[in-house]
Structure 1
Amino acid sequence: MTLRTISALLAGAALMSGLPAFAQSYQGRDSGDSASSGAQEEGGEAGTRSGGRRLAVQPYIEASQILTAQLSPGDDVVTYTQLAAGVDASINGRRSAGTVSLRYERNFGWGNASDSDTITGIARSSFEVVPRTVTLEAGALAARTSVDGSGANVFTGQNNADFTTQTYSAYAGPRVQTRVDDVEVTGQYLIGYTWVESPDVVTANGNAVDVFDESVSQQAQARAGFAPGTYLPIGVGVGAGYFREDIDTLDQRVIDANVRADVTVPITPTFAVVGGVGYEDVEVSSRDAVRDANGVPILGPGGRVVTDEASPRVIAFESTGLIWDVGVMWRPSRRTSLQAGYGRRYDSDTFYGSFSFAPNPNTNLSIGAFDGIRGFGGRLTNSLASLPTDFDVVRDPITGAVVGCVNAVTGGSCLDGLLGSIRSSVFRSRGVAGNFSRRVGRYTAAISAGYEQREFIGAPGTVLAAANGVTDENYYVAGTVGGEIGRRGTFTVATYANWFEGGFGANDLFGLGSSASYSHAFTQSLSGRAAVAVNYLDSDFTTEDLKTASALVGLRYGF
């Protein structure tokens, strides 16, 4: 494990991390976050909590025996002995809130099965440095995923698959919120780092897949505005935003700077027309790869192209000029909110919208549309930032890996859609995502679904030119239900489906899986575990579908 891997994990684990989704101005309408109008969201602290200090820390160790049978294309049966250690922790205080789930596991293969070790986890937290004014927030993700020859990247339920890789991401930054008379002033800064281990996969014709390596992203925003009925019958705000992502592959760079003014015109006490106008400067650029005497790009470790640092920087996309949007906002109560709008951005049409409905403390429905230009790292850190601070992590009961979703009554979130394609090229991401969660007594259920289109951007005359204008599409749905059985038992049932339509030739993928697990407490510290899972993968990259079934029995000891 490299130093940058350890740094990414420690940053997230130490901070128990997170950063809320940007709500305003164009810097908030990036890929992965629900877009909003120029009207300021109330408070801007979705997922934070208040009240007395409550800290829960649950370290544990596990020992399990796993059997995995390949049903197709072969009939291999392999077994593993799995040893794991992890910690699940949460804090709910007057100035701090957060959740972290971190796990290390070691698989010892029997017979033809190979050994492996994995670190997985997800975290999100916030801490008020200055009460109600300055908040430090951060987050992190460590995930095991499967990558095939199309570049499709999905959460995996398999042990020791040759095409698995690790994705690490961490971010942190302060948020400021205060008032000057009746003017609300807000500001945020976020810095994130994302790294993907080389999955060592090739395309159907034997070429190395253009896989994302690492990037550093930064974004900042500032806004000042007042609500309708204070100084004027309408609400007025002005703001500015800046985003930059530096991607290691071919020294790609995304810069997006904007200034914007917005207005809110009340029509009724619960309905308003909103709109905004501003100026934006967007630029995507890169260098070319080192080439041999025949002009063929030279590949470095992991099959990634080697950047020619001496080559000139080439513009792949630029858009400078007027931006605008107009829409509506409906808030019949504090528990219901709807925003929708249309505008112009990136020299093309753009649509945005969000809907949230929480009729009671145990039910939440949220839907959001997004549109933005980002690299894989910037897309990932922004979507991690939208997680609430209070959630339950959904893990594969066989492998222990994070499967892509978290559950929270304040609003769940799935990461399946944002992983999508793992190619290194910058892309414009457009789509919609929704989540519904419900808690009834001792049971909790949640379902998430979404769609994302990624249109890749590549500079002419460079290796990435072939990707320019190519579009990938990703559809996903995931559901979980769990709760208590009697006084000592708990269960979880989870199902997922993922459809990936690749634009780089015949590169479609369909994944489907389901699992069920049961845990029974023998004592306060010792419990027994049993689980079964089935997974199905249909990829154009392989001639036959992959079907597997797995089972686990084991013990967990909690400290």
Structure 2
Amino acid sequence: MSVRHWISGTSFIALATMTMPALAQSSRQDQRLNVVPYLGIDQVVMAPLKGDGDVLTYTNVTAGVTAEVRNRRVEATIDAQYNHSFGWGSQATDQDVISGILSTRVNVARGLSLNAGGLATRVRTDGLSGATALNDSFTSQVYAGYVGPSYTTQLGDFTVNGSYRLGYARVEDDVNSDIPGALPSGSFADSWSHNLLGSVGFAPGTVLPAGLTASAGYDREDASQLDQRFEDGWGRLDATLPVSRTVALLGGIGYENIEISQRSPVLDTTGVPVVRNGRYVTDKSSPRALVYEFDDIIWDVGVLWRPSHRTSLQARVGERYGGMTYQGSFLWQGRDSNFSLVVFDGIDSFGRMIMGDVAALSGSNLNVVRNPFTGDLTGCAFSATGGGQCFNDALSGITGNNFRYRGVSAQYALQRGPWGWGLGAGYSQRKFITPQGQAVFIRGSRDENWFGNASANYRFSDSDSLDTVVYVNYFDASDARPDILNYGAFTSYFKGLSRRLSASASVGIDGAKADDLDTVISAMGQVGLRYSF
């Protein structure tokens, strides 16, 4: 979970001190350019161990590229892949999967940088929220990307920061609402978002014993579903007062105005909203209705503990959104590992949430774990130097509505010798914001999601390795939608046959259980070849 989620639009004075340094800052000066395009072919078989189903066979053809660029001006990581599955028989349908991540930072001038990032992956669209998209015809492509500059400079004792981010998110599918358990009508289609932040302040002990920072920000998202619009403008003053060498008291007060509005759907002759491809048809002539409004003072107090430059603990309690809020984080950066835990509380949407996850990706040596049977991302990208991210929560229960978003998320990564480890886990609650004084077009009131991902990698040599991944996701849906438990594991062995040719073999198991439906457990096997240019 990114720090952005628990900050939820508010710039705290301790933000800069919370960000852990990379494992070796001097390593950023090292010159590195590693670009590897590749082509691959593999054979996959899937057989039911429990539940109805046929033995399915696929031939997958892939084309992709992995790249890492790092020098004094550019730091970039790319892992992108296109996969086409040729199904054998009428039950195994052909499929296309585009997946990958991009994280780029370009230092344009002193203090000025241009940042960009992106994500592509696949999710379920048959109502089995959180379940794997393994060889299933009811799937959607998800895309998210952003670009924008950031600037920081020192004017005497004052630090000045500013940033802007333009983002776009899209779920590309044709949802069949007649499918039992299909996504609720009004699912997310696409949205544009803008994020603008600025701050100026001084550190403790420079101008005053306490440090002060004045900050302001503006967020806007325009979604195509019912022409929804989210606007959040805020400003605040934060103070940091050291009380010992490692402990400081925190406090902040400000003002915030949030408005969420939308238009009405087109109604048929019986007064029922018209749905096309699983989404409401927007009545462009209808007036814009206010769905949610918050206009009030915000405040919080807390404590910051920083015993070393590698460790930071922060906890805050305050009032926002008309009630109490609780937020916090613990961040630790070791020499070859890192750990983060974040408690978050804010108002979010799928578009803004997935954009925050993509923007949280940074650093080098990102380990992007893929499902060897489909090419899908398994949910997390790990990095022992920090900057990894899990996408499981954002991709579970995709909805076109805004919601109060609260929960906790943790991530751990280690790279030591030939071993690499990654662990991500979390819990979240989405309480949907329901329009007042008008017909309600939101299905469900509150969803909950638990997820966990673990990966282990062992390198026998530069060309031979063994990967193991275990995953679990439980999605607790409201409004009579099915609760979904998905779990599985797979192991892959990679063997270099020559300088450019390698072979792989994988075995795995995947299970899914929905309310009132029998458990389905499948065994999978894969063998393949890859040629790298």
Shorter-normalised TM range: over 0.9
Q: Distance in 2 between matches of 1:199 and 1:332?
A: 52
Matching residue of 2:127? 149
Matching residue of 1:89? 67
Matching residue of 1:104? 82
Compute the displacement of 1:250 (Å). 0.6
Verify the 8 A CA contact 2:174 2:278 in the aligned structure 1. Answer: no
2:37 equivalent among 59, 76, 79? 59
Compute the displacement of 1:167 (Å). 0.5
Q: Is 1:517–2:492 an aligned residue pair?
A: yes
Compute the displacement of 1:198 (Å). 2.3
Verify the 8 A CA contact 1:97 1:127 in the aligned structure 2. Answer: yes
Shift in alpha-carbon separation, 1:78–1:428, aligned structure 2, 3 A: same
Q: Is 1:374–2:348 an aligned residue pair?
A: yes
SS of the residue 1:418 aligns to: helix
SS of the residue 1:377 aligns to: helix
Q: Is 1:298–2:274 an aligned residue pair?
A: yes
Matching residue of 1:12? none
Amino acid at match of 1:64: D
Q: Distance in 1 between matches of 2:106 and 2:3?
A: 17
Shift in alpha-carbon separation, 1:215–1:463, aligned structure 2, 3 A: farther
Verify the 8 A CA contact 1:438 1:444 in the aligned structure 2. Answer: yes
Q: Distance in 1 between matches of 2:86 and 2:443?
A: 40
Q: Distance in 2 between matches of 1:528 and 1:240?
A: 53
Q: Is 1:29–2:7 an aligned residue pair?
A: yes
Matching residue of 1:284? 260
Compute the displacement of 1:29 (Å). 1.7
Query: Per-residue CA shift, 1:427-478, capped at 9, x if unaligned?
Result: 111111111111221110111101111111132355544447x110001010
Matching residue of 1:10? none
How does the TM-score come out when normalised to structure 2?
Answer: 0.94
Q: Is 1:70–2:48 an aligned residue pair?
A: yes
Shift in alpha-carbon separation, 1:212–1:458, aligned structure 2, 3 A: same
Q: Is 1:269–2:245 an aligned residue pair?
A: yes
Verify the 8 A CA contact 1:63 1:81 in the aligned structure 2. Answer: yes
1:210 equivalent among 186, 210, 215? 186
1:7-22 to 2 correspondences below 5 Å: none
1:397 equivalent among 364, 372, 397? 372
SS of the residue 2:28 aligns to: coil
**Which consecutive residues of structure 2, in runs of 5 or more, have no partner in the other structure?**
none
Matching residue of 1:128? 107
Matching residue of 2:162? 187
Matching residue of 1:483? 458
Compute the displacement of 1:536 (Å). 0.6
Q: Is 1:352–2:330 an aligned residue pair?
A: no
Q: Distance in 1 between matches of 2:138 and 2:86?
A: 19
Compute the displacement of 1:506 (Å). 4.2
Verify the 8 A CA contact 1:494 1:514 in the aligned structure 2. Answer: yes
Q: Distance in 1 between matches of 2:28 and 2:438?
A: 52
Verify the 8 A CA contact 2:339 2:413 in the aligned structure 1. Answer: yes
Shift in alpha-carbon separation, 1:43–1:539, aligned structure 2, 3 A: closer
Shift in alpha-carbon separation, 1:125–1:176, aligned structure 2, 3 A: same
Q: Distance in 1 between matches of 2:11 and 2:341?
A: 12
Shift in alpha-carbon separation, 1:373–1:208, aligned structure 2, 3 A: closer
Verify the 8 A CA contact 2:130 2:473 in the aligned structure 1. Answer: no
Which stretch shows the higher mean deviation, 381-390 or 259-268? Answer: 381-390
Compute the displacement of 1:487 (Å). 6.1
SS of the residue 1:41 aligns to: helix
Shift in alpha-carbon separation, 1:240–1:138, aligned structure 2, 3 A: same
Q: Distance in 2 between matches of 1:397 and 1:453?
A: 31
Shift in alpha-carbon separation, 1:53–1:463, aligned structure 2, 3 A: farther
SS of the residue 2:280 aligns to: coil
Compute the displacement of 1:129 (Å). 0.7
Alignment identity in percent?
Answer: 37
Verify the 8 A CA contact 1:37 1:341 in the aligned structure 2. Answer: no
Q: Distance in 1 between matches of 2:434 and 2:261?
A: 8
2:207 equivalent among 218, 231, 237? 231
Shift in alpha-carbon separation, 1:462–1:289, aligned structure 2, 3 A: farther
Q: Distance in 2 between matches of 1:192 and 1:511?
A: 30
CA RMSD of aligned residues (A): 2.1
Amino acid at match of 2:70: N
Verify the 8 A CA contact 2:412 2:423 in the aligned structure 1. Answer: yes
2:507 equivalent among 517, 522, 532? 532
Compute the displacement of 1:306 (Å). 0.3
Compute the displacement of 1:21 (Å). 5.9
Query: Per-residue CA shift, 1:24-62, capped at 9, x if unaligned?
Result: xxx97229xxx8743241496866862132111111110
Which stretch shows the higher mean deviation, 231-240 or 368-377? Answer: 368-377
Q: Distance in 2 between matches of 1:315 and 1:409?
A: 45
Verify the 8 A CA contact 2:57 2:88 in the aligned structure 1. Answer: yes
Amino acid at match of 2:145: A
Verify the 8 A CA contact 1:363 1:409 in the aligned structure 2. Answer: yes
SS of the residue 2:352 aligns to: helix
Q: Distance in 2 between matches of 1:73 and 1:253?
A: 44
Q: Distance in 2 between matches of 1:487 and 1:194?
A: 37
Which stretch shows the higher mean deviation, 207-216 or 512-521? Answer: 207-216
Q: Distance in 2 between matches of 1:245 and 1:70?
A: 43
Q: Distance in 2 between matches of 1:305 and 1:465?
A: 9
**Which consecutive residues of structure 1, in runs of 5 or more, have no partner in the other structure?**
1-19
Q: Distance in 1 between matches of 2:461 and 2:58?
A: 31
Q: Distance in 1 between matches of 2:186 and 2:505?
A: 39
Query: Per-residue CA shift, 1:190-230, capped at 9, x if unaligned?
Result: 11100102252446478854311111111111000100110
SS of the residue 1:507 aligns to: coil
Verify the 8 A CA contact 1:221 1:239 in the aligned structure 2. Answer: yes
Matching residue of 1:460? 436
SS of the residue 2:137 aligns to: coil
Verify the 8 A CA contact 2:428 2:450 in the aligned structure 1. Answer: yes
Compute the displacement of 1:374 (Å). 2.0
SS of the residue 1:505 aligns to: coil
Query: Per-residue CA shift, 1:208-256, capped at 9, x if unaligned?
Result: 5431111111111100010011010110110101111111111111111
Amino acid at match of 2:470: T
1:312-323 to 2 correspondences below 5 Å: 312-323=287-298
Matching residue of 1:15? none
